[in-house]
Amino acid sequence: MESCRIGIVHNVPRGGDYDFSASSEDVLVQAGAVEKALREMGHVPFLVPFTENLGDVLPNLLSLDLRAVFNLCETVDENPRFAGHPAAVLELLGIPFTGSPSTAITLSTDKVLSKKLLEASGIPTPRSVPVTGKERPDFSVLPYPVLVKPRLEDGSIGIDQESVFRNEGSLRQALDGLLERFGDLLVEEYIEGREFNVSLLGFPEPEVLPPAEIVFDRFPETLYKIVGYRAKWDAESFEYGHTTRVFPELPGELAGLLGKTARATFDLFGLRDYGRVDIRLGADGVPRVLEVNANPCISPDAGFPAAAAARGLEFPALVGKLLDFALGRA
């Protein structure tokens, strides 16, 4: 392949005393790894920070004469409402980019809209109730315990053991503080069971990669089995050290069911190139979609590259495939 000028568009970590700096700063790890892989392939990469100041971003993008762009933005200036804006800007400029279109990123980032779409399509998902503004909805449709999630955050921001409530009284007591901190919320039934991350890769037809199971190793009964912020980002926490990713040999029927659910979800949300669907398998054997990630982390040690490696595709080859998908749309 000829040498190409390739942009790597990424959000800018807030830094300082930001409560969620670990997840925020991970994008720089992703960008550095992609940059290294592109250089090794003979391409000329350019890191392009993306902020709300389009007066700086647009001239930068336009002046670089880029053949394609890796879109690594998960937020803009730590505002998840703008998660789809970098893709939208690239679409308007006519620059091919890796990953999902702006509509898919915007939709999958919004947990309330995601729920409505899943429910309307008939894809199983845990029951939930949205909480917006000062409204106090009827929670009687939900069994307890329940898990409270910020409507728009990603990377498990705002989700930890303290996000699980055993009864309506404790839930209502906590709502004001959670709304003040995170804005709109989604209250979702907690389902005990096995958890799987199902990654998909390919364009125009995605392939289901080997499902990863999240093993909650030696979790005491006092802890709920959830992949919260500490499990992902706090290396000193119990959850981080005891939440592991494995790629088990699954019975064919179960593997097929997980793959079918993930593929239907991928198509429903209009994902492209790559994505991940998180699924909880309850005691009834029904796979329920927890989250849809249109722009999963591709740091070399993250879940998506691990799934690709389980298929025999190491990180440099994965980067090359993603680039090929984008260049094929040039």
The C-alpha atoms of residue 297 and residue 315 are separated, in whole angstroms, by: 13
Q: At what angle do helices 102-109 and 111-121 cross, to 10 degrees?
A: 100
Alpha carbon 181 to chain centroid, angstroms? 21
Whole-angstrom Cα distance, residue 313 to residue 199? 13
Residues of the chain with CATH 3.30.470.20: 192-311
**pTM as predicted:** 0.94
Q: What does 96-107 look like in DSSP terms, one character per residue?
A: -BSS--HHHHHH
Q: Which two tokens stand for residue 160?
A: 């930890």
Where exactly does CATH 3.40.50.20 map onto the chain?
5-99
The per-residue pLDDT string of the chain (330 residues; one tens digit each, 9 = 90 and over) reads 689 999 999 999 876 565 666 677 889 999 999 999 999 999 999 999 999 999 999 999 999 999 999 999 989 998 989 999 999 999 999 999 999 999 999 999 999 999 999 999 999 999 999 998 777 899 999 999 999 999 998 888 889 999 999 999 999 999 999 999 999 999 999 999 999 999 999 999 999 999 999 999 889 989 999 998 898 888 899 999 999 999 999 999 999 999 999 999 999 999 999 999 999 999 999 999 999 999 999 999 999 999 999 999 999 999 999 999 999 998
From CA 259, how far away is CA 196, in angstroms rounded? 11
Cα gap 325→312, rounded to integer Å: 18
Apex 95 CA angle, 93 and 99, nearest 5:
120
CB 150 within 8 A of CB 158: yes
| CATH number, span 125-189 | 3.30.1490.20
Residues 6+ apart with CB under 8 A from 246: 212, 213, 215
Which ranges of 76-224 would DSSP assign to H, the alpha helix? 85-93, 102-109, 111-121, 168-182
CATH number for the domain running over 192-311? 3.30.470.20
Could you tell me which CATH number the domain at 5-99 has? 3.40.50.20
Name the one residue in this structure whose structure tokens are 């054997």: 285
